Amino acid sequence: MARIAGLYFRDDRQDRTGLIQPMLAASRGDGNWAAHTQRNGSATLGWTGWRFPGLTDTHGVLVALDGRIYNRSDFNPTAGDAELIAELYTHYGFEKALCRLNGDFAIALYDRHADTLWLARDRFGVKPLYYVNTRDWFAFASRPAALLALPGSSRNINRRFAAIFAGGHYRYFDNHPDESTYQDIAQLPAGHVLRVSHSGLHMTRYWSLSEEPDFTAATSELAEQYRHLLIDAVVMRVKAASNPAFTLSGGMDSSSVVASAIQASNGTPHAFSTVYDDKTYDESRDIQPMVEATGLQWHPVAVGAPDVFTLVQRMVRIHDEPVATATWLSQYLLCSEVQRRGFGGLFGGLGGDELNAGEYEYFLYFFADLKAAGRENQLQEEVIRWIEHHDHPVFRKSARLVEEGLEGLVDLSVPGRCLPDRRRLRRYYAAVDKAFFDLERFEPVMEHPFSSYLKNRTYQDMFRETLPCCLRAEDRNAVKYGLEHFLPFLDHRLVEFMFRVAGAEKIRRGVTKYLLREAMKGILPEETRIRIKKTGWNAPAHVWFSGTGLDNLRDLVASRSFRQRGLYHVSEVERLVAEHQQIVESGRLAENHMMFLWQLVNLELWLRWNDEASANDAGRRVC
């Protein structure tokens, strides 16, 4: 694990002494890591981390790398990852070199002869990369904190982001993947290249998913291909990892990753799970069949009544932003335990829900595909099975709900065009003061490169909704505790394969992840493989904001800084706090407000931290 940073100067006479070191110091936070720099021509690149430095000056180019290349054996296995990138660049050019790589990476490459700086991010944005462009210089870094360490940098927040975080849903935080939480700091989108030269900036997409015909092979053949791809993706990453551990829930995704590792090595890996006293999201019982059948070494990490406010204060400092969901507080504590036990890497199942249509909401988009194809009999049968398997006292399932969903969530007149979920998006708009930012002006971008509603919903989640904020949170937590993180479901070969798999191979007879279940026959224990119930990877934040947590929440809402910020309508916030507590205390079957409250606490504590840092910056300038 590493962090990179660098500068490209448009005036070669400009004094650059000392600029890169503060950037690297801010990148590593409180980590005691070595820092390395290289200067050549107009560019200075830096690397900091705890592995062999991903920094080289060879073949006439500078390369700084955060991440791993998994298919080094396809090229020159004796070269380091940074040296390999330099070699491929000299043979193929930058974009064609990237297309040959299988890896998770943020790359900076400077060509002295062309006086050009290239930046790239892996296909799915597993590794972060930000930049700032000024008249005199261009700067990039793995963290916004590094760019904020530069002289004259602004901590002005992105007000649209803050307003959506305050009153929107976490799925919409990253609808503009080229932005960050700060007004003047841009983010390089996943799968993109940025070319920087004296003539300006030029951004292009070097990899994308596009419409191709669905596979027509039998399910058994597709399952065999899937199994091979997943196991190979796991094996490639295990070879790159140093003493890895695995996260494990009761669901299919993380279980399939662990089981694939066992299948390939016949070993008994270590697996970590967060467990809770409150049973709403506790998956201990669902995890047991996996533990008993495989003999893996299981480490439950108990998360009882965490000091949410103190932990969030710590997390926003290492994340450089408010943290999207309460899940990541639990994962933060899990990473701490993984490090304490001496492991160097952590594998997870992130991306599995998207590829395998594992989210409950994917049913409606599958239904839309069936309706658009005129498969009414199959649609009726799937709706019946959906109701049978997934009806819930709070989140009811019915044929009428399907009709409403097809009217509001898709445009049946345009094949594959999905629409924003207005109810979910606007649920808390009334809590945000329009004078701060008028959320009614926010119109989410909904891409539709495919003729399938289900594929477009998946695509949206991978690049503009669920995955981006999760990837950043996992990256920040892992780096804090000196861990590399590995996500086999985001192997591009596996993703490309799954985008050619028909919806009926993902959802069948009201059951999600159908093809993955078939692929894992004989590898997963049957109780895990055929379990229909999905708890969902979440945390019991509803009880975290009661008792002492409720007192802290009320104190925060009553504070001068919160009330004078002008972001929230305080009376509406107070109403929501009271209603949430009433729902939790009474046990009433109603949707509570834990996600809104989590976002409120994170946003306010991040804004306080940013205000404090701004004041310190101003004090240093005065001195």
Name the token pair of 255.
Answer: 């279980």
Task: With beta carbons less than 8 A apart as the criterion, state whether 140 and 108 touch.
Answer: yes
User: Kind and range of the H or E element at 580?
Assistant: helix 570-586
Q: What's the pTM value of the predicted model, to 2 decimals?
A: 0.96
Task: With beta carbons less than 8 A apart as the criterion, state whether 285 and 249 touch.
Answer: no
How many whole angstroms separate alpha carbon 560 and alpha carbon 573? Answer: 15
- In sequence order, which ranges of 373-465 are alpha helices (DSSP H)? 376-390, 399-408, 422-426, 453-463
Q: Which amino acid is residue 434, in one-letter code?
A: K
Residue of 342, 320, 394 lying closest to 610 (CA atoms) = 320
Measure Cα distances from 181 to 30, 162, 275, 308, 596 in Å.
22, 7, 31, 22, 18
pLDDT of residue 623: 45
* Residue carrying structure tokens 């690149």: 45
Q: Which amino acid is residue 552, in one-letter code?
A: N
| HEC secondary structure over 508-574 | ECCECCHHHHHHCCCCCCHHHHCCCCCCCCCCCHHHHCCCHHHHHHHHHHHCHHHHHCCCECHHHHH
Helix 362-372 crosses helix 399-408 at what angle (to 10 degrees)?
Answer: 80
Length of the chain: 623
User: Kind and range of the H or E element at 195?
Assistant: strand 192-197
Tell me the mean pLDDT per 10 residues along the chain, length 623: 91 69 90 88 93 87 96 88 96 97 98 97 98 94 97 95 97 97 98 96 97 97 98 96 95 96 90 92 92 95 94 97 96 98 97 95 97 97 94 86 94 97 96 97 96 98 97 96 96 98 97 97 95 77 90 96 96 97 89 96 98 80 50
How many whole angstroms separate alpha carbon 326 and alpha carbon 535? Answer: 15
Q: Quick check: helix, strand or coil at residue 333?
A: helix
Residue of 192, 6, 16, 23 lying closest to 117 (CA atoms) = 6
Task: With beta carbons less than 8 A apart as the criterion, state whether 289 and 528 touch.
Answer: yes
Task: With beta carbons less than 8 A apart as the criterion, state whether 179 and 158 touch.
Answer: yes
Q: Which CATH superfamily does the domain covering 2-205 fall into?
A: Aminohydrolase, N-terminal nucleophile (Ntn) domain (3.60.20.10)
Dihedral of CA 81/84/86/89: which sign? negative
Task: With beta carbons less than 8 A apart as the criterion, state whether 373 and 365 touch.
Answer: no
Q: Which amino acid is residue 574, in one-letter code?
A: E
Name the token pair of 351.
Answer: 């991306």
Chain-centre distance of CA 110, in angstroms? 28
* Surface-to-core class of residue 57, CB atoms within 10 Å of its CB (0-12 exposed, 13-18 middle, 19+ buried): middle
Q: Quick check: helix, strand or coil at residue 487?
A: coil
CATH topology for 219-355+464-529?
Answer: Rossmann fold (3.40.50)
pLDDT of residue 12: 62
| HEC secondary structure over 29-91 | CCCCCEEEEEEECCEEEEEEECCCCCEEEECCEEEEEEEEECCHHHCCCCCCHHHHHHHHHHH
In degrees rounded to 5, what are phi and psi of residue 232? -65, -40
Q: What is the DSSP string of 128-141?
A: --EEEE-SSEEEEE
Measure Cα distances from 504 to 214, 309, 369, 513 in Å.
11, 44, 10, 10
Name the token pair of 308.
Answer: 């949410």
In degrees rounded to 5, what are phi and psi of residue 189? -65, 155
Nearest 5°: the CA angle 391, 393, 395 is 65
In degrees rounded to 5, what are phi and psi of residue 470? -70, -40
For the chain, domain boundaries: 2-205, 219-355+464-529, 362-449, 541-622
How many whole angstroms separate alpha carbon 7 and alpha carbon 43? Answer: 6
List beta partners, residue 48.
3, 35
Q: Give one word for 88, left, alpha or beta, with left for phi > 0 and alpha for psi -120 to 50.
A: alpha
Residue of 474, 429, 445 lying closest to 172 (CA atoms) = 445
Pairing relationship of beta strands 2-9 and 43-49 according to DSSP bridges: antiparallel
Q: Quick check: helix, strand or coil at residue 175?
A: coil
pLDDT of residue 175: 97
Task: With beta carbons less than 8 A apart as the criterion, state whether 309 and 330 touch.
Answer: no
Name the token pair of 408.
Answer: 């509001």
pLDDT of residue 323: 97
Residue of 610, 480, 462, 477 lying closest to 144 (CA atoms) = 610
Measure Cα distances from 420 to 260, 445, 460, 461 in Å.
36, 9, 10, 12
Task: With beta carbons less than 8 A apart as the criterion, state whether 4 and 54 touch.
Answer: yes
Task: With beta carbons less than 8 A apart as the criterion, state whether 87 and 56 touch.
Answer: no
pLDDT of residue 536: 61
Q: Return all residues near 263 (Cβ < 8 A) that are at least 6 apart.
A: 231, 523
For 224-292, where are the E strands, in sequence order?
A: 244-247, 270-276
* Surface-to-core class of residue 33, CB atoms within 10 Å of its CB (0-12 exposed, 13-18 middle, 19+ buried): buried
Give exposure, 60-82, as e/b (b: 16+ Cβ within 10 Å). ebbbbbbbbbbebeebeeebbbb
